[in-house]
Structure 1
Amino acid sequence: MRLFQNSGLYPSYLARLNQLAADASSFEARRQIFLNDRFGALHFLKPVLEGEAEAFFTNGDDEILQRQWAREQGIPGKPVLENILLAQIEHHRTEVFYNLDPVRYPSAFVGKLPGCVKKTFCWRAAPSGNADLTAYGAVLGNFPSILESWRRIGCRAELFFPALDPIMDQYGHDDRPIDVLFVGGYSRHHTARARTLEQVASLASTYQIVYCLDASRLTKFAESTIGAWLPLQKHRRPAAIAKIAEPPVFGRQLYELIGSSKIVLNGAIDMAGTDRGNMRCFETMGCGALLVSDSGGYPPGLQAGVTMETYDSPEQATEIIAKCLQEWPKPAAVAARARSRVAEAYSKASQWKHFADLVALI
């Protein structure tokens, strides 16, 4: 199978990548630095991570990366990124195209794919406005209600899961000096999460609490010198959160931080409904920390009281976390059980088999 996997970058991650790849003078060098940093690796299929010859990977929105490839191929001028991506697919003689960035490259893009492409898939586990993905062979995701919403507008949608990054096993086998860690976004879409973060932050006088927050542009502006004079109070982080907030972390830095934490706090974004199972759940268990997350419908193997702990309110989250820390290392056994079970159920081998089965089916 000649597989092409396309992904995309968070704007806040791009600065880290540019720093890591400052001396990378070729497409392959920059791409390899990105893959080695493991950002998004739970979504990358086994042949990509293992560097198999028939698998091609790129970040189609990484202008530096894509223009390096175009120059190396002798493509003149300054083509738009979409045309570079199409040229890569044709050059690779792709048979199966799997796109992790379908809102940027929707059905209109699928209609331009070269004839060598026989099957198309995309991953989308969030509401996407008016995005048209109907031309894809299937939309993949791990939130059943969101998959159903894609079906209602004419897409084929199939359940598919992230898989643990094999290198996660290198992390989290020493002391865990951080008591509670939260890593994630902070914006107007995170009101329920923000209330929980504020409540749990009250434990900072007793425990080591670390919040690495990727604040929205509006939040950053609201907290700026100019923004402080404007009526933007609802967009500012409460003092208890701002006091302990640190910049966001990604990739191997994230693995290291989770591996240094006893508990990872998680909370769904407001638009997720009752479906649960975002990437932080898998990253937490893969690096051996105890997941404390909000109640809802989780994927198989993620079970309250068995492999994780769940809460129904910000107050309950704080109570559960305090109790777990007081009773440590008993909750550590729950985290260890989760690490073992999730590693078995959500391996790269099983993810790749599931994907190959979908290719054969669709």
Structure 2
Amino acid sequence: MRLFQNSGLYPSYLPRLNQLAAKASTFAARRDVFLHDRFGAAHFLEPVLDGAPEAFFTNGDDDVLQRQWAREQGMKATPTLEAILLAQIEHHRTDVFYNLDPVRYPSAFIAKLPGCVKKTLCWRAAPSGNADLTAYGAVLGNFPSILDAWRSKGCRAELFFPAIDPVMEQYGHGERPIDVAFVGGYSRHHSARGRTLEQVAALAAERKIVFCLDASRLTRLAESAVGRLLPLQKHRRPDVIARIARLPLFGRDLYELFGSAKIVLNGAIDMAGNDRGNMRCFEAMGCGSLLVSDSGNYPEAMQEGVTMRTYDAPERAAEAISSSLQDWPQWAAIAASGRSRVQQTYSKASQWAQFTDLVARIEPC
């Protein structure tokens, strides 16, 4: 199978990538720097991470990366990023196109694919407005309610899961000096998450709490010296959170944090109903932390009191964390059990086997 996997970058991750890849002067060098940092690796298929010659990977929205490839291939003038991506697919002689960024490259893009492409799949585990993905052979995701929503729009939708990055095994085998870590977005749209963070941040007087928050632009403005003179109070984080907030972490730095934390706090945002199992759950458990997350319907291997712990309301999160830390030997054993279970259930090998099975079952273009 000649696999082409396309992904995309978070805007807040781009400065880190540019710093890491400052000396990367070729397409391959910059791509290798990105893959080595492991940002988003839970979604990257085994042949990509193994560097298999028949697999091609790119971030189709990375202007620097894509224009490096275009220059190396002698593309004339200033092609669009879409034109570069199409040229890469044709140059690679792709059989199977797997897209992690389908809202940017929806059905209209699929209609332009070269004839070598026989199967198309995409990952989308979030509501996407009026995005049209019906031209894809299948939309993949791990939230059943969102898959049902795609089916109601005329898409074939199939259950598929992130996988544990094998590199995670390098982290979290020593002391865990951080009591609680949280990494994620924060804005006024994260109402339940905000209440949870506020409750847990109050433990910082007695516990080592680390919040690495990707705040919205309005939140950053509201908390600036100028912003405090403007009527932006609703966009400011509560003082108890702002006092301990750090900049967001990505890639191996995130693995290092989770490997140093006893507990990783997670809180879903209201997009998938009662379905749970966002990528942070896989990252936390893969690095051996105790996942403490809001109650709901979790994937296999994420079981309350067996491999993780849940809370049933934002106001109960701090209580769950405090009691876990007070009886840490018991909950440390549960965290270890969780790590073992997710490694077995969601390995890269099993993810790839499931993917190849899906490819075999979907209709050709």
> Where does 1:40-51 land on structure 2 (aligned, <5 Å)?
40-51=40-51
Query: What is the rounded CA distance, in whole Å, between the counterparts of 2:156 and 2:189 in structure 1?
Result: 27
The answer as to whether partners of 1:182 and 1:266 remain within 8 angstroms in 2 is: yes
The answer as to whether partners of 1:200 and 1:314 remain within 8 angstroms in 2 is: no
The answer as to whether partners of 1:124 and 1:140 remain within 8 angstroms in 2 is: yes
> Where does 1:1-362 land on structure 2 (aligned, <5 Å)?
1-362=1-362
Query: What is the rounded CA distance, in whole Å, between the counterparts of 1:226 and 1:155 in structure 2?
Result: 47
Give the Å deviation of 1:169: 0.4
Deviations 1:40-75 (A, max 9, x none): 000000000000000000000000000000000011
In the alignment of these two chains, the number of paired residues is 362
Q: Which amino acid aligns with 1:52?
A: A
The farther-off stretch of 305-314 and 52-61 is 305-314
Q: 4+ residue runs of structure 1 moved beyond 3 angstroms? A: none
Give the Å deviation of 1:227: 1.9
Q: Which amino acid aligns with 1:314?
A: P
Query: What is the rounded CA distance, in whole Å, between the counterparts of 1:96 and 1:60 in structure 2?
Result: 16
Query: What is the rounded CA distance, in whole Å, between the counterparts of 1:237 and 1:77 in structure 2?
Result: 46
Query: What is the rounded CA distance, in whole Å, between the counterparts of 1:274 and 1:165 in structure 2?
Result: 26
Query: What is the rounded CA distance, in whole Å, between the counterparts of 1:36 and 1:248 in structure 2?
Result: 19
Instruction: Quote the sequence identity (%).
Output: 76
Query: What is the rounded CA distance, in whole Å, between the counterparts of 1:222 and 1:157 in structure 2?
Result: 40
Equivalent residue of 2:12, what SS?
helix
Give the Å deviation of 1:187: 1.4
Deviations 1:182-212 (A, max 9, x none): 0000013311000000001110000000000
Give the Å deviation of 1:9: 0.2
Deviations 1:72-91 (A, max 9, x none): 00111110100000000000
Q: Which amino acid aligns with 2:241?
A: I
The answer as to whether partners of 1:189 and 1:271 remain within 8 angstroms in 2 is: no
Equivalent residue of 1:329, what SS?
helix
Q: Which amino acid aligns with 2:20?
A: L
Deviations 1:266-304 (A, max 9, x none): 000122311100001000110000000000010011010
Give the Å deviation of 1:232: 1.7
Query: What is the rounded CA distance, in whole Å, between the counterparts of 2:300 and 2:232 in structure 1?
Result: 41
Deviations 1:139-171 (A, max 9, x none): 000000000000001000000000000010000
The answer as to whether partners of 2:124 and 2:139 remain within 8 angstroms in 1 is: yes
The answer as to whether partners of 2:211 and 2:245 remain within 8 angstroms in 1 is: yes
Equivalent residue of 2:271, what SS?
helix
Give the Å deviation of 1:230: 2.1
The answer as to whether partners of 1:187 and 1:235 remain within 8 angstroms in 2 is: yes
Give the Å deviation of 1:3: 0.2
Equivalent residue of 1:271, what SS?
coil
Q: Which amino acid aligns with 2:68?
A: Q
Query: What is the rounded CA distance, in whole Å, between the counterparts of 2:282 and 2:43 in structure 1?
Result: 11
Give the Å deviation of 1:328: 1.1
Query: What is the rounded CA distance, in whole Å, between the counterparts of 1:24 and 1:265 in structure 2?
Result: 35
Deviations 1:317-361 (A, max 9, x none): 111100111111210000000000110000000000000000000
Give the Å deviation of 1:229: 2.0
The answer as to whether partners of 2:3 and 2:95 remain within 8 angstroms in 1 is: yes
Equivalent residue of 1:125, what SS?
coil
The answer as to whether partners of 2:195 and 2:315 remain within 8 angstroms in 1 is: no
**TM-score, with normalisation over the residues of structure 1?**
0.99
**TM-score, with normalisation over the residues of structure 2?**
0.98
Deviations 1:71-126 (A, max 9, x none): 00011111010000000000000000000000000000000000000000000000
Equivalent residue of 2:13, what SS?
helix
Q: Which amino acid aligns with 2:24?
A: A
Q: Which amino acid aligns with 2:110?
A: V
Query: What is the rounded CA distance, in whole Å, between the counterparts of 2:136 and 2:189 in structure 1?
Result: 28
